[in-house]
Amino acid sequence: MPTPSILAFDVFGTVVDWHGSIVREVQALYPQIDADAFATAWRAGYQPAMQRVRSGELGWTLIDDLHRMVLDGLLPRFGLSHLGEDERDHLNRVWHRLDPWPDTVAGLVRLKTRHTLCTLSNGNIGLLTNMAKRAGLPWDCVLSAEVFRAYKPDPRTYLGVAGVFRVAPAQVMLVAAHQDDLAAARACGLATAYVERPLEFGAGRPKDVSPDAANTWHARDFLHLAELLGC
């Protein structure tokens, strides 16, 4: 089947291991707390925080600032209320320092030989750029909800990628490890590729990575996706 020319990637969980990265850093900084529970609770505040923006309760707010709001509410629960501003800011920026999955960089390099690669993340541009610089992620372009001032699954994000590159939506394929993100992209006319990330939430909470026939492609990882796409 024809392959879209633009591959747009969800980032948190799909490209980088947010859970494992946060656990490793929190364990090193604050060994007295349950780092697994901390990472899980922090991520659990992600969607509710964005929903406050989507609903209009909050004006446009960057993910860095939403992460900080969630973090400030989380610290007392884990006995970290005493952290000062510098410590809180450093911890909040762990989202800029997330490690890629083992297959990520090599897979992206292969995919880049035949496709234009961009992010399509709710993360803000500064966060995504710092992450890419540190992890060696070879994006052709960094796109973010910040560009469109709308958080996924708002259609403006998916259609915005097509608009940036002046192509039809069918010429864009969203690559993600989340079926709801992919379903929203399909509703906008994009092709979709599901990538299995069974350990996104840690070894203690494996994900169901069963195929969904509605997706254009289903891959074990980025190297498998490159193989499927002939890269």
Question: Distance between CA atoms of 158 and 184, rounded to whole angstroms?
Answer: 8
Spell out the residues 6+ positions from residue 21 whose beta carbon is closer than 8 angstroms to its own.
Answer: 94, 97, 98, 99
Of residues 231, 129, 217, the one with CA closest to residue 174: 217
Please answer whether residues 6 and 167 qualify as being in contact, where contact means their C-beta atoms are separated by less than 8 angstroms.
yes
Question: Distance between CA atoms of 86 and 138, rounded to whole angstroms?
Answer: 31
Structure tokens at 43: 């991520």
- Domains of the chain plus CATH, in order, are 6-17+98-228 (3.40.50.1000), 18-96 (1.10.150.240)
pLDDT of the chain along its 231 residues, tens only? 678 999 999 999 999 999 999 999 999 999 999 999 999 999 999 999 999 999 999 999 999 999 999 999 999 999 999 999 999 999 999 999 999 999 999 999 999 999 999 999 999 999 999 999 999 999 999 999 999 999 999 999 999 999 999 999 999 999 999 999 999 999 999 999 999 999 999 999 999 999 999 999 999 999 999 999 999
Q: What is the pLDDT of residue 1?
A: 61
